[in-house]
Structure 1
Amino acid sequence: MFSKLLYKNRQIARGYAMDDFDRQLVALLRLDGRMPIAVLAQKLQVSRGTIQKRLDRLISSGAVRGFTVRTRQELDETVLRAMMSVKTSSKKPAALIKALNGVPEVVSLNTTNGVWDYIAELRAASLADLDRALREIRSIDGVASTETSILLGAV
């Protein structure tokens, strides 16, 4: 209940409150980001114009930041994946977040609770690339400490 309220408040704070229809639309797009508008309209039992209007609003408000391709992990065996916990000492979190997101190997960045402030998911083509990214992150002003785990395989 609390997380649902927090999520709702976060959306309102950004100037757009997602309703149940928006959440259903986003859920379908998470399953297939290339689903045609006509199919979305059929599944949600509304007109194509309604879907287009909602998508435009979700995109312009920032609630939907983009569309992406997701592959099964085993199809992309050449990519190293790692999770990095980051503790900060920064008085300017916006600048720190911008710097962390500016590292090309960082594919997602999340706040967390407990000892760590952020959890970053990293992807790199080689150990050398991962090592360079780790050094780059550790040198960012405001990063106090990190702990990294390389993901070896899904179970």
Structure 2
Amino acid sequence: MAVDALDAKILRLLLEQPRTSAREYARILGIARGTLQARLDRLERDGVITGTGPRLSPAALGHPVLAFVHIEVRQGQLEPVAQALADVPEIIEAFSMTGGGDVLTRVVARDAAHLEDVIQVLVRLPGVVRTRTEMALRERVPYRMLPLVEAVGRAAGPGR
């Protein structure tokens, strides 16, 4: 799906001012509200906009420890393991991967002992061969999309 310069401007506003109304976005951009809504609908339908809810802080929810757990899975067991991982609330993301492990998970925990408990749950899952854990020390670049949106907008060329 091609994102043009106007789409990039809309996305930037959504990222920078997420609580602003559609009417105000349209005013800022100098476009009709209907045009804005049609663009938003298309961006959602095409999977560019995947959600509108708040980003929550695991640390503020009492889970300040962040770890990346690589999971090696027995051949042919990826789907059942992935389904079982979805039942572990401390796993906030999981990806099938190439390289050293089959699945990479992002795990949050209350403390190191809790992290160990979560890892023990993972190693007992049917189909899990072994795990390797790396603890994050400090976030250096927080999750962000604005630089990518700006680069896409520049590549799309001049627009409204």
| Cα distance change of structure 1 residues 121 and 35 upon mapping to structure 2, 3 Å threshold | farther
Gaps of 5+ in 1: 1-16
Note the C-alpha offset of 1:83: 1.0
Secondary structure of 1:29 counterpart = helix
Structure 1 range deviating more: 137-146 or 72-81: 72-81
1:1-150 alignment to 2 at 5 Å?
A: 17=1, 19-20=3-4, 25-42=10-27, 44-59=29-44, 63-70=48-55, 79-150=64-135
The alignment's C-alpha RMSD in Å is: 3.4
2:95, 2:104 within 8 Å by CA — same for their partners in 1?
yes
Asked if the contact 1:90/1:143 (under 8 Å) is kept, the reply is no
| Cα shift readout 1:54-92 (whole Å, capped 9, x = no counterpart) | 434444565544234347898788611111112222525
Give TM-score scaled by structure 2 length.
0.61
Q: Which blocks of at least 5 consecutive residues in structure 2 are unaligned?
A: 141-160
2:96/2:104 contact within 8 Å kept: yes
Q: Check whether the contact 2:96–2:102 (CA below 8 A) recurs between aligned residues.
A: yes
Preserved contact between residue 68 and residue 136 of structure 2 (Cα < 8 Å): yes
Secondary structure of the equivalent of 2:94?
Answer: strand
Q: Distance in 1 between matches of 2:59 and 2:90?
A: 19
| Offset, 1:105 | 0.9
Structure number with larger C-alpha Rg: 2
Q: State the SS of the aligned residue for 1:134.
A: helix
- The CA distance in 2 between the partners of 1:98 and 1:61, in whole Å, is 26
2:128 and 2:16 mapped to 1: Cα distance?
A: 35
Give the secondary structure class of the aligned counterpart of 2:135.
strand
Percent identity between matched residues is: 25
